[in-house]
Chain A
Amino acid sequence: MAESYQEGSGAGGADFDLSQFYQIFFEEAGENLDQMEQMLLDLDLSAANDEELNGIFRCAHSIKGGAATFGFSDVAELTHQMESLLDRLRRHELQPIPPMVDVLLESADASRSLLARHQAGGQGEAVSTTSLVKRISELAAGVVPDGAPAAAPAPAPAPVAVAPAPAIKAHVPGQLRKLQIHIGPLEKTEQADTIKELFRDIPGLGSISDLPSVQAGVRVFAVETTSSTDDLLDLFAFHVSKEQVRFSDGDEEPAAAAEVDPDHAVHEIEPPSGGADVSYGFFSDAPGAPSAVPAAGAAAKPSASKAVAAAEPKAAAQAQMESTTIRVAVNKVDQLINLVGELVITQAMLAQNSRGLDAGAYQQLLAGLADLDRNTRDLQESVMSIRMIPMSIVFSRFPRMLRDLANKLGKKVELVTLGEATELDKGLVEKITDPLTHLVRNSCDHGIEMPAERLAKGKPELGTITLSASHQGGSIVIEVRDDGRGLSREKILRKAQERGLDVSDQMSDADVWQLIFAPGFSTADEVTDVSGRGVGMDVVKRNIAALNGSVEVDSAEGYGMKVSVRLPLTLAIMDGMSVGVGEEVYILPLSSVVESFQVNSDDVSTVAQGSQLVKVRDEYMPVIALEKIFQVPRFDLNKSSNIMVVVEADGSRVALLVDELLGQHQVVVKNLETNYRKVPNVSGATILGDGTVALILDTGGLVRRARH
C-alpha cells in the first residue's frame, strides 16, 4: 500500500490523485479561518464563554485535520500549536489575554498565506512560522510576554521545504537512517535495478535514488530506510551476492546527491518539487550503464531543469481549474432539479398525446418531439449529476491519511471500503467528510492496538478498518468499523464521573456509548496530535445532527467497535425495479434485488399460522405477497401474482410475490415525510415518467417483518 502510493503520485498521480480534493479543502479551510477570525475578534476576554472557545477550537481542529490529510504539514503544525493553546484556554487552565488573541490572529493570517501558497502549487514566497510557533508555545506554557510581542511573521524567503521538513522528521517513529549503498562490481549494471524494484515493491522499506558512481561497474544508491543493515542484506541477497554490497553512512553524500534531498522524495507532495525529484530518478536511471561521474552528473543536470519546466504548466493548469469551478447555492440547484423534473413530465405528456397522430401529416412536429425527448433526457441527466457523487470520492481520501497516520503511530492498519458506488447528495458528502475523518482517525489512534499487543491478544498483526456505505430503508448508512480494542464501559463511566456527568452503573451499554459524544470527553490516556482531546466525537455528533442524521455506536471490549452514521435520503438517485401489483406500481431498490422467477403453486408450501415458504435451490425463504401487505384492490380477477422477486436485506432474503416486472430505471427518491408521515414498509416515493407517484419499498422493513 505504502510504496504504491508514492509511485502513483510520482508518476503524476495516475491511479490516486489527491489534488481533486484540494479545492474542497482550500474552500473549507478558508471558511474555517474566516469564522475563527470573526470569533476571535468577537471574543470578550474578561468573560469568554465556553461555547465561543469551543467554536474557535473546532475551527483550528478542522483545519489541522484537513491539512494533515493532504500532507500540508506546515499548516498542520501551526494549527496544532494553535489548538494546544486553545485547548488550555478551553479547559480554563489559562486566562485569555490580548497577546493570545494577537498571536492567534497572526497565525490565522499565516495559515492563510501558507494555504494560498499550496493552492498556487508551491509558487511564491514561503512564510516562516517558526517565530509564531515559538510564541504560541510560550503562551501555552503560561509565559506572559513582557512588552511588545515579537514582530509579525515577516515573510522570510525560506527555501520551499525548510519549514515542513523538520516537522515531518519529528513525527517519524523508529530510526530513519540515510545510507549509501555501493553495489558491484557487476558484470551488468542493470542487475542493480532489481534492488530499486525491491524498494518499490515492499511497503515501508523506504526510498532509494541513484547516485553517480565513481567506479565502472559499480552502482551507488542513496537509501533512506528504517530497516537494519542485516535485513537489507538479506533482501538484496536474492539479487546480488552479499560480497558485492557495501554500506556507508549517508552523511558523506557526494555533492551531486545533495541536489536530490531524499527527504523530499518521500514526503513532499507539492507537484513541482515532487515532480522534479521523480523525473530526476527516472531519467538518470534510463541511460543504462553510466559509469563515470561526469556522465551521470551531466545527465542529472538537464533532467532536473526539465522537470522544473514541466512543473510550471502543471501549476498553470491547476490555477486554470480554480477559475472553472463556481460555488452555487444549493437551493438554486434544487430549484433547477425541480424545474427539470417538471419539464420531463410535460415532455412525457406531450409524447403520450402525440402518439395517435398521423406520422405523415405531422412529420415535423413528431421529429421535434423526438428531439425534445432526447434533449430533456440529457438535460435531466446533467442536472442530476450536479448533485450526486459516489461515496468513493469521500472514501478515497482515507487510504493516504490512514497510511500516514499508521506510520506515525507505528501501527499496521489495512483499510477496506465497501459500497463505494453508493451515490450521495453532494451537500451531504461535503458535510459527512469531516465527521468521517474524525471517526477513522479515532479508530486508528484509539481503536487499533500496537502490532505487538495485537499479536499478544491472538489477533492478526494487521488491524482492519472497514468503511462501508449502503442504502438502508429510507436512509444512507455509513459505517466505520475496526477490529481494535473496543470501548471500555468501566473507563467511560469512570471518566464521566470524574467530569461530573450524571451517570450510574445501571446504564445500558447504548447509553454508556452515547457518553463519548459529550463535548471534551476523551478516554485517551494521552493527548496526541491525532486525537485524544475529546473534540472529535462532539463535532461528529453535531455535524450529523445538523443533517438530521443519527450516530450509533456498538462495541465489544477487546473486539472492536462500529460507528454507524445514518443519514436521511433527502435527494438521492437510486436504481429501481418497478413491479406491478394489481393496478399499482411499486419500486424495489435494484441493489437489494437478487433474482426473480415465475413460480408454480407447487413450489410454495404453507406452514403454521398461514405463512408461506418457497423453495429456491435448496433454500426455503418466506414469501411476502405485496397484494396482501398493501391491500391492493383487485379488479381483474383473472390476473394473479405468480412472479417472485427475491430481495436481500440485512443479510437475509425473502421472496416478494408480484404480478409483473415492469422495468428498471433510475428514480429520484423523494421523502414521503415532508408532507405526510412515515408509512410502514415504504422508504420513500418517486415520480414516474407519466407524472404519477410510485412508492419505494423498504426491503429492510419487509425482511424484518418476515423474519420476526
Chain B
Amino acid sequence: MSVMGKTADNAPTGAREYLTFRLDQEEYGIDILKVQEIRGYEPPTRIANAPEFIKGVVNLRGTIVPIVDMRLKFNCAQADYNSFTVVIILNLRNRVVGIVVDSVSDVMELTPESIRVAPDIESAIDNSCILGLGSVGERMLILLDIEKLMSSVDMGLVTTAE
C-alpha cells in the first residue's frame, strides 16, 4: 500500500505521523502506527548462527522478541551499547520485533507534499523499502517501509523455504 493512499484515508489534511530516529549521522522516519513501545537496551540472549545484526532475543513481558541492530544492518561505523541506546519495539503483522537505534528524536507530522521520491542510490537496503525522503526545514528524513524491510528475506527474521 502506498503512503499516499493511506494518507488520504486517514486524515483530511493528508498528514501522517512519523517516529524519527538516528543511526549515526542519518535520520530515519517510520510510521508511528507500527511502533508498540520504546525501551532501553538490555543484553539479549544470543542465537547461534544468526546474522550479525540479529543480536538475539529478549523477554518482553513473557513474549520472546528478536532484536535487530539497525546500525549493523545499515553498516554504521559505530555500534555502542550504552545507557542511551534505544530499542524500538515494532508490531508488524502480529509479529513483534525490536530494533536498536542510536536515539529516538521525535514524532513529526508530514504532508504528502513534503515527501519526495527517493533517487535510485546504492545503499545497504533495498530501494523498495524506502518510501521517500521527507524534508523538514533543513533536516532530511529517510522514510522507511519498516514492515517490508523487516519481512524481507535478507533480514532472516522469517522462515522462508528451506
The answer to whether A693 and B157 have CB atoms under 8 Å apart is no
Per a CB cutoff under 8 Å, which of A338, A630, A631, A678 touches B62? A338
Contacts of A629 in B (CB 8 A): 48
The answer to whether A674 and B59 have CB atoms under 8 Å apart is no
- Minimum CB–CB distance for B21 against chain A, Å: 21
Chain A, range 316-355, C-beta contacts under 8 Å to B: 337-338, 341-342, 345
**B40 at interface (Cβ–Cβ under 8 A)?**
no
Chain B, range 14-70, C-beta contacts under 8 Å to A: 43-50, 56-59, 61-66
Across the interface, name the chain A residue whose C-beta is closest to B97. A675
A-B pairs, 10 with minimum CB distance: A630-B48, A677-B159, A693-B45, A338-B62, A341-B62, A676-B66, A687-B59, A685-B64, A675-B96, A693-B57
Across the interface, name the chain B residue whose C-beta is closest to A335. B62
Chain A, range 654-708, C-beta contacts under 8 Å to B: 670-682, 685, 687, 691-695
Bits for A611-638, please: 1 = Cβ < 8 Å to B, else 0.
0000000000000000001111000000
- Minimum CB–CB distance for B45 against chain A, Å: 4
The answer to whether A675 and B58 have CB atoms under 8 Å apart is no
What are 23 A-B pairs at a CB distance below 8 A? A337-B62, A338-B61, A341-B62, A342-B61, A342-B62, A584-B45, A584-B46, A632-B48, A670-B62, A671-B64, A674-B63, A675-B63, A675-B65, A675-B66, A675-B97, A676-B57, A676-B64, A676-B66, A676-B157, A685-B45, A691-B59, A693-B56, A695-B47
Contacts of A670 in B (CB 8 A): 62-64
- Minimum CB–CB distance for B87 against chain A, Å: 14
Across the interface, name the chain A residue whose C-beta is closest to B65. A675
Contacts of B59 in A (CB 8 A): 345, 687, 691-693
CA distance A13 to B50 in the complex (A): 56
Contacts of A342 in B (CB 8 A): 61-62
**B3 at interface (Cβ–Cβ under 8 A)?**
no
Contacts of A676 in B (CB 8 A): 47, 57, 64, 66, 157
Interface residues on B, range: 20 to 34
CA distance A674 to B60 in the complex (A): 13
Contacts of B97 in A (CB 8 A): 675
The answer to whether A687 and B62 have CB atoms under 8 Å apart is yes
Interface size on A, residues (CB 8 A): 30
The answer to whether A677 and B156 have CB atoms under 8 Å apart is yes
Across the interface, name the chain B residue whose C-beta is closest to A690. B59
**B140 at interface (Cβ–Cβ under 8 A)?**
no
**B158 at interface (Cβ–Cβ under 8 A)?**
yes
The answer to whether A694 and B45 have CB atoms under 8 Å apart is yes
CA distance A682 to B56 in the complex (A): 13
**B139 at interface (Cβ–Cβ under 8 A)?**
no
Contacts of B66 in A (CB 8 A): 675-676
Contacts of A682 in B (CB 8 A): 47
The answer to whether A679 and B48 have CB atoms under 8 Å apart is yes
Given A338-B62, A693-B57: A677 in contact with B158 (beta carbons within 8 A): yes
The answer to whether B64 and A672 have CB atoms under 8 Å apart is yes
CA distance A631 to B51 in the complex (A): 13
Bits for B118-139, please: 1 = Cβ < 8 Å to A, else 0.
0000000000000000000000
The answer to whether B64 and A674 have CB atoms under 8 Å apart is yes
CA distance A201 to B56 in the complex (A): 62
Contacts of B48 in A (CB 8 A): 629-632, 679, 681
- Minimum CB–CB distance for B152 against chain A, Å: 13
Contacts of B62 in A (CB 8 A): 337-338, 341-342, 670, 687
The answer to whether A693 and B159 have CB atoms under 8 Å apart is no
13 additional A-B pairs beyond A341-B62, A676-B66, beta carbons within 8 Å, are: A342-B61, A629-B48, A630-B49, A675-B63, A675-B65, A675-B97, A677-B159, A681-B48, A682-B47, A692-B45, A693-B45, A693-B56, A693-B59
Across the interface, name the chain A residue whose C-beta is closest to B46. A584
- Minimum CB–CB distance for A627 against chain B, Å: 10
Contacts of A694 in B (CB 8 A): 45
The answer to whether B46 and A673 have CB atoms under 8 Å apart is no
The answer to whether A672 and B49 have CB atoms under 8 Å apart is no
Across the interface, name the chain A residue whose C-beta is closest to B158. A677
Contacts of B58 in A (CB 8 A): 692-693
The answer to whether B96 and A678 have CB atoms under 8 Å apart is no
Contacts of A338 in B (CB 8 A): 61-62
- Minimum CB–CB distance for B91 against chain A, Å: 10
Across the interface, name the chain A residue whose C-beta is closest to B48. A630
- Minimum CB–CB distance for B149 against chain A, Å: 16
- Minimum CB–CB distance for B18 against chain A, Å: 24
Contacts of A631 in B (CB 8 A): 48-49
Across the interface, name the chain B residue whose C-beta is closest to A583. B46
CA distance A680 to B46 in the complex (A): 14
CA distance A545 to B48 in the complex (A): 31
CA distance A675 to B158 in the complex (A): 8
